[in-house]
Chain A
Amino acid sequence: MLKDEAAELVKAFRQGDAQAFNRLVALYQGKVYNLAYSYVKDQEEARDLAQDIFVTVYRSLPGLKDPAKFSSWLYQTAINHCRNRYRRLQRRGFFETQSLDDEESPLQLASGESLEKNIEEQQTASILRAELAKMPEAEKEILILRDLQGLSYEEISETLQVPLGTVKSKLNRARLALKQRLRHLL
C-alpha cells in the first residue's frame, strides 16, 4: 500500500538514506502537483508551489512523530502552502489575468482516442476547474481532497482537522453546490 511504502521510506530517510526522499517525491509528486494546480491553475506556479511543498517536507520530516501518518501530514503541509500561495497570488491580481485558454496542459492524447473526444474532455475539465475555483475555499478543498485526490473520509478529517461527521456533511453540501454550478453542462 502507498501508505505503508511511504512509512518505510520515512523511516529510511531518518536513518540517513538520502535516496528515500527522492522515492517519496516520486510516490507523491503527481498528487502534490495536481493539488497545487487546482489552487493556482497555472503550470509554472504549480511546479514552483509543489517544489516548495517538498522542500518543507524535506526540512520538517525529522519532526514527524508517526511515519504512518506521513500522508495526512504531507497533505496538511501541502494545503497550508496552497492556501497561502493562493491568497498571495489573489492579492497580486494573478487570477484576474488568467484566461481559460491557458489553463490546461497541451493535449495529452492517449493512443486510440479521438482528437474530438480529447478536446471535449479538456473543455469539460476547464469548465470544471473554473467552477471549482469560484467556490468558497472550504467547499473547494473538500471536493479536491475527496473527488480529485481520492482521500478517504478519515484522511480528510485528519488533514483538515475537522470531525468525521463534519467531513461527510460538508462534502455533501459541496457536491450539491457544484452540481448546481454545472447545471448547464448536465
Chain B
Amino acid sequence: MDCEHIRSLFTACQDREISPPDLLAFEAHLAACPHCAREWQDFRKTLRLLQEMRPLPVPSDLLPGIHEKLGQRRGKTRLQELLQRFFPPLPTTAASLAAAALAVMVLIKTHDVSGPETSVLAPSAPIARVEPLDAQEPSLTMPVSVGQPAGDDAGFLPYAAISRPPFPFLLKREATESDLLAAWHDQVAAMGIEGPLGGPSSAPDIVVKVHHLSPEGMDWLHRRIDREGRWQTRGDSRDRFLVLVDPGELSAFYELLQRQHLPFSVHSSPVFERDARKPLLVSVRP
C-alpha cells in the first residue's frame, strides 16, 4: 500500500469499516511510515475536535414560534391579499376555466444533435385543451402535434406538443420522469419523426411557464417554493428561476402551482447524461 492509498482508508479505519486484511496492512504501513503516522494522528485529532463540539441549546421559544407560524399560514386573508397583489386578474373566461380545470399543455421539445429542425413537420400552433382534473386517465397513444418554436420559445429546439394528456397522468404520485419519457417516446415514434430521440442523451428537463404572472409574482412564487423547503432553488432572476425536483416529486411540484390557482404549461428541454437519481432541473418562467 502506498501513502495515498493509506490516506484513503483513514475514514474506514476511524469508523471501523475497514476489512481485517486492510487493517493489518494499514497498521504495518503506519509503523513503517512516520509521515502517514503523523497524518493519521492529526486526522483523529481533527475528528475529535469536531465531534466534541457541544450542541447549542435550543431557544425556548422555538416551539411556540412554530405554532405561531402555522397559525399565520392557516389564515387565508394574507394569502388572498398576496394573490390579489401579485397576480393580475384573469379574464373572466380564463378564470372560470382555471377554476373548473387547469389548462395544461405539455410541450416536449425534441433533441436532434444531427442538425437543427431537419425532421420537423409543418409548423402548427400548439394545442391546449382544458382537461378536468378528475378526468379518466387519457390514452397515451393520442395524436401529437409538432410545432416550430416561436415567440418566447424561439431559442428552443423544435417541439412535439402532446395535445391532451399530461396533467392527470403526471399528477399521479407514481408518475416519474421515465413515465414522461416513455409517453414522449411513444408519441414521437408514432409520428415517425427521425432522429436520436431515444437513449439517455435525450431526456428532458422541464420548463414550467406560469401564465399571467408579473415579475413581482415571480418573486413571490420563488419565495413560496423556497419556503416550502421541499426542493432547492437556484438563481434569482426576475424572469426565471430553477428548482431541483426529484423526478418522483414532479407531480407534487405541479400540485403546489395548482393550489395557488396558477395556470401553467410545461415544456421539456434536452439534458445530457441524466441519472435516474438526479433531480430534474425545473426552470420556472412567467
**A interface residues with partner B (beta carbon < 8 Å):** 22, 25-26, 29-30, 33-34, 37, 43, 46-48, 50-56, 58-60, 63, 77-78, 80-81, 83-84, 87-88, 91, 104-105, 108, 121, 124-125, 128-129, 143, 147-148, 153, 161-162, 168-169, 171-172, 175-176, 178-179, 182-183, 185-186
Where chain B touches its partner, the secondary structure class is helix
22 A-B pairs in the complex with CB atoms less than 8 angstroms apart: A26-B63, A29-B63, A43-B56, A51-B69, A55-B69, A56-B229, A59-B73, A84-B226, A84-B229, A87-B233, A88-B226, A105-B56, A108-B54, A121-B54, A124-B53, A129-B53, A147-B51, A169-B8, A172-B8, A175-B11, A179-B39, A186-B46
A48's closest neighbor in chain B, by CB? B65
CA gap between A55 and B55 in the complex, in Å: 22
CA gap between A81 and B236 in the complex, in Å: 16
A125 and B53 form a contact (CB under 8 A):
yes
The listed residue (B50, B52, B65) touching A178 by CB distance below 8 A is B50
B11 and A34 form a contact (CB under 8 A):
no
Residues of chain B contacted by A26 (CB below 8 angstroms): 63
B65 and A186 form a contact (CB under 8 A):
no
CA gap between A148 and B58 in the complex, in Å: 15
B contact residues, total (Cβ < 8 Å)? 46
CA gap between A178 and B42 in the complex, in Å: 10
Determine if B156 is an interface residue (Cβ-Cβ < 8 Å).
no
Residues of chain B contacted by A88 (CB below 8 angstroms): 226
CB distance from B225 to the nearest CB of A (A): 9
CA gap between A33 and B231 in the complex, in Å: 19
A84 and B232 form a contact (CB under 8 A):
yes
CA gap between A153 and B16 in the complex, in Å: 12
- In the complex with contacts A34-B55, A55-B69, A168-B17, A178-B231 CB distance below 8 A: no
B50 and A128 form a contact (CB under 8 A):
yes
A177's closest neighbor in chain B, by CB? B46
A52 and B229 form a contact (CB under 8 A):
yes
CB distance from A57 to the nearest CB of B (A): 9
Determine if B134 is an interface residue (Cβ-Cβ < 8 Å).
no
Residues of chain B contacted by A172 (CB below 8 angstroms): 7-8, 10-12
A81 and B229 form a contact (CB under 8 A):
yes
- In the complex with contacts A105-B57, A147-B50, A172-B10, A52-B236 CB distance below 8 A: no
A175 and B63 form a contact (CB under 8 A):
no
A56 and B56 form a contact (CB under 8 A):
no
CB distance from B78 to the nearest CB of A (A): 14
Residues of chain A contacted by B230 (CB below 8 angstroms): 56, 60, 77, 80
A186 and B42 form a contact (CB under 8 A):
yes
Given contacts A56-B230, A153-B17, 17 further A-B contacts (CB under 8 A): A29-B58, A30-B55, A30-B58, A47-B62, A51-B66, A77-B230, A84-B226, A91-B236, A104-B56, A105-B57, A128-B53, A129-B53, A172-B10, A172-B12, A175-B14, A185-B49, A186-B42
